[in-house]
Structure 1
Amino acid sequence: MNEKIISKKVLRLISILGIVATILAIIYGYQKGIFTSTDRLQAAVKEAGIWGPLLFIGIQIVQVVVPIIPGGITCVAGVVIFGPLEGFLYNYIGIVIGSIINFALARSYGQTFIRSMVSEKLYEKYIGWLSERERFDKLFALAIFFPVAPDDFLCMLAGLTKMTYKKFTTIILLGKPAALMAYSFSLTAVLQFVTRYVTRYL
């Protein structure tokens, strides 16, 4: 129990530090003029060469396993920085790899690992899915396809079942694109609307 409490405190601290780091990076970017226009932001990323996409994919992987940055922020950032197609691709690669890692960690370390990563409320809300042995795969696939459930947690939950790596990976590969596209582009549209409003009226 003590290890569980300590793990949650460490994860909470990491998440807070991640958010603080993100805010500081945004402030730094504005001071340097990187975030004052999309062109400057994209130019800065291009100057980084192959390291730009690789760094972004790495950040996306980490935020799936350890939510140091809200997933919505990184999804939108990918589209804004790299454009619709490349941004979607890098988001997709990072999230798929992170999801497989979550599945593997849960498969290796079981419920103790999962309960140290999520709130007890969230755990109790979905743990009942495990009793739906014959329906779990279908419920999981639907949850991955439609962006309405905590996908990262459900990937861990799937690790507690007898689902094979092949089946899990297939569901993730086929189910993620539609949900990710809808989620990323809808948030990007909202961000663009807010940006235009602020620019016009403030």
Structure 2
Amino acid sequence: MEYAQGTKSNILINGSTLVGLFITVAFFVYGIQMNLFTSQTALQTFLQQFGWFAPVVFIMFQAIQVVLPISPGAIGCVAGVLIFGSVQGFIYNYIGICIGSIAVFLLARQYGLNYVMNMSNKKVFNKYIGWLKKPSFERIFATAIFLPVAPDDFLCYIAGMSKMKLKKFVLIILLGKPFAIIMYSLMLNIIVQKLLPLL
């Protein structure tokens, strides 16, 4: 009986994973076709269709753009603030980016070096992969996540290949991301607001 229940649970989990993967891929393809990952205006227009459900879609968007590095994360951060306001925009950015970062860590841990290489820019990969050999990697990683001075998404891939425990990684992400997101969101928002009148 226990084995049968376990089998049913596995089928349910695997089925849910496949459905989630299909939805993610479909949204990814649609996003490319509609320029959602490269145009803030296109993203705003897209989100307005969903009314009260827009925050959920935006969080999904932010999570996907972390896992699939197809556009600068700054686009989503600025869009979040402009569309939802400073406070809500920050919250939605934070939730989506944290979900994506944790997913990246787990994917790297599951599929290893070849997967990370395929998902990375060669130049960035060669520049930062050496961090894994440093005894102080976890401290360096935490500093890089807190301060927006390095490619955070790629560093999460590297962390997945390290000996860092998931619990510690999640703690670093949850505590370190807010400052970096605020810096990205608010500073870039100020720049955009300054440039718009000139265009």
Shorter-chain TM-score: which interval? 0.7 to 0.9
1:21 is aligned to 2:35: yes
Cα distance change, pair 25–140 in 1 and its aligned pair in 2 (3 A):
closer
Equivalent residue number for residue 181 of structure 2? 180
Contact 1:96 1:172 in 2 (8 A): yes
Q: Which runs of 4+ in 1 moved over 2 A?
A: 17-29, 67-70
The CA distance in 2 between the partners of 1:161 and 1:179, in whole Å, is: 23
Equivalent residue number for residue 102 of structure 1? 104
Equivalent residue number for residue 51 of structure 2? 48
Q: Deviations over 1:160-183 (max 9, x none)?
A: 111111100000001000111011
Cα distance change, pair 28–136 in 1 and its aligned pair in 2 (3 A):
closer
Q: Which runs of 5+ in 2 are unaligned?
A: 1-27
Offset of residue 28 of structure 1:
9.7
The CA distance in 1 between the partners of 2:120 and 2:77, in whole Å, is: 21
Q: TM-score, normalised by structure 1?
A: 0.77
Equivalent residue number for residue 121 of structure 2? 119
Q: Deviations over 1:12-57 (max 9, x none)?
A: xx79x7275226883697xxxx69xxxxx9xx47x711x1100000
Equivalent residue number for residue 10 of structure 1? none
1:196 is aligned to 2:191: no
Q: Which runs of 5+ in 1 are unaligned?
A: 1-13, 36-40
The CA distance in 1 between the partners of 2:173 and 2:180, in whole Å, is: 11
Cα distance change, pair 19–193 in 1 and its aligned pair in 2 (3 A):
farther
Contact 1:79 1:88 in 2 (8 A): yes
Cα distance change, pair 127–78 in 1 and its aligned pair in 2 (3 A):
same
Counterpart among 91, 94, 107 of residue 92 in structure 1: 94
Deviates more, 1:116-125 or 1:92-101: 116-125
Equivalent residue number for residue 65 of structure 2? 63
Contact 1:106 1:159 in 2 (8 A): yes
Cα distance change, pair 26–157 in 1 and its aligned pair in 2 (3 A):
same
The CA distance in 2 between the partners of 1:64 and 1:127, in whole Å, is: 18
Which residue identity is paired with 2:182?
A: M
Q: TM-score, normalised by structure 2?
A: 0.78
Cα distance change, pair 82–126 in 1 and its aligned pair in 2 (3 A):
same
Equivalent residue number for residue 72 of structure 1? 74
The CA distance in 2 between the partners of 1:115 and 1:64, in whole Å, is: 15
C-alpha RMSD of matched pairs (Å):
2.7
